[in-house]
Amino acid sequence: MSTIVLILGLHKDISNAYKNGIEKAFPEFQVTLLDSVKKVDPFLADMEVLITHGPYLEDRADHVLTNAKKLKWIQGIGTGVDNFADRATLHPSVSVTNIHGVHGAPMSEALFGAMLTFSRQIKRSISNQQEHKWENWPSRLISGKTIGIFGLGSISKTIAPRCKAFDMKVIGVSSSVREMDGFDKIHHKDELINVVHEFDYFLILTPYSKYTHHIINAKIFSKMRPTSYLINHARGGVVDEDALIQALQNKAIAGAALDVFSKEPLGSDHPFWDMDNVFITCHQSATHDGTVNTNLPIIIKNLNQFKSGNYKDMLNLVKLGINHENS
């Protein structure tokens, strides 16, 4: 009997839907759902399949990968596979897959939620409602503004045309310069320092790696407009958070919408919580009420390939284990 472990830091209804869907499709599998990586130790010895998201492994990724001696395959539930695929402790025999190409719609709506929160001062309105305080002010339109998008993958392909529908100017920044629908111009990432001053909104979508660690730093913030906003929907480690705090405190930028953090969950004593010019969501920009309906069919197809030992034909294959090359 194959043993599958899900480590998911999601709302319990979503996590249970993943587990129930897998158990229904594969009653012969032993399926264990954990809401914290801290609970995984009793299951490591027998775990053959791990379904998770890098941030959910927190600072125990190496511990998990080192002690899961029977592990054959990791299915990521997001696009990013950092904190497992990039760990030196991941055995070369382990295959890795992700969920790719389905996050454009929810990430677009999360982006507009963040931009409108700032442009309409939603936090201020909520505070006034709680205080029964009548106050009005002129809102700032997003129409006619410029958004810079750092990281041009499948998500940005969906986001850019939607920004154009709001009459925004859309500028892309990437390691690969090419034409893409919805973009007015695309710059190489080495040009970011020279073009970031053009952005009213700066959306981070680039994957996290040793090459993008703290790539958004004090130098970048110093070149941004004091009226501009940072929106990080990628990974916390891409942004130097200490430099961001300083930029926010010094009003070097107007604000930041943060969905991801270098350490998650974000500590209750972290300065971000109490900053008026910060809008926090809890790593949920890609998660919605239809997430399982979108992702589970991909996972089930890959579980069928796992069952037959056919790893090379798995969907969204990121890394093929060395023992699986001829499977």
Q: Residue 62: what pLDDT? A: 98
Burial of 202 (0-12, 13-18, 19+ CB in 10 A): buried
- Would 3-101+288-324 and 104-280 be classified into the same CATH topology? yes
Is it true that domain 104-280 has CATH number 3.40.50.970?
no
Q: Which CATH superfamily is domain 3-101+288-324 in?
A: NAD(P)-binding Rossmann-like Domain (3.40.50.720)
Q: What is the pLDDT of residues 34-69, one digit of tens each?
A: 999 999 999 999 999 999 999 999 999 999 999 999
**Residue 325 pLDDT exceeds 90:** no
Domain limits of the chain? 3-101+288-324, 104-280
Question: How does strand 49-52 pair with strand 3-7?
Answer: parallel
Give the model's confidence band at 1: pLDDT under 50 very low, under 70 low, under 90 confident, else very high.
low
- Rounded Cα gap, residues 31 and 125, in angstroms: 45
- Taking each helix axis from N to C end, the angle separating 154-165 and 104-119, rounded to the nearest 10 degrees, works out to 40
Work out the number of other CB atoms within 10 angstroms of the CB of residue 13. 9
The residue from 53, 233, 283, 324 that is catalytic is: 283
- Rounded Cα gap, residues 197 and 184, in angstroms: 16
Based on the residue annotation, tell me whether 235 is a catalytic residue of this protein: yes
Phi, psi of 258 (to 5 degrees): -120, 120
Based on the residue annotation, tell me whether 213 is a catalytic residue of this protein: no
| Cα angle 89, 78, 248; round to 5 | 95
Q: What is the pLDDT of residues 192-222, one digit of tens each?
A: 999 999 999 999 999 999 999 999 999 999 9
Q: What is the pLDDT of residues 69-122, one digit of tens each?
A: 999 999 999 999 999 999 999 999 999 999 999 999 999 999 999 999 999 999
The residue from 187, 235, 241, 324 that is catalytic is: 235
Based on the residue annotation, tell me whether 188 is a catalytic residue of this protein: no
Cβ–Cβ under 8 Å, residues 144 and 280? no
The residue from 60, 264, 270, 288 that is catalytic is: 264
Tell me what the pLDDT averaged over the chain comes to.
97
Q: pTM of the entire structure?
A: 0.95
